[in-house]
Amino acid sequence: MLRTIAMGSCVMVQGILENTLPDGRISVRVGSQLFTGLPV
């Protein structure tokens, strides 16, 4: 499932959902990289 996260005020990343963290953030995978941020 594709999800979009915000990493700061201007940077958004869209990737495949990997993990949901207890503090409300989620991790998405883009290729071989993993990004963590707040869901949009």
The domain containing residue 11 runs over which residues? 2-39
Other CB atoms within a 10 A radius of the CB of residue 5 amount to: 20
The pLDDT value given to residue 16:
98
Domain count for the chain? 1
Between CA 36 and CA 21, with CA 18 as vertex, the angle to 5 degrees is 55
The pLDDT tens digits of the residues spanning 1-40 come to 999 999 989 999 999 999 999 999 999 999 999 999 999 9
Q: Indicate the pTM of the whole model.
A: 0.86
Please state, in angstroms and rounded to a whole number, the distance separating the CA atoms of residues 22 and 31.
Answer: 24
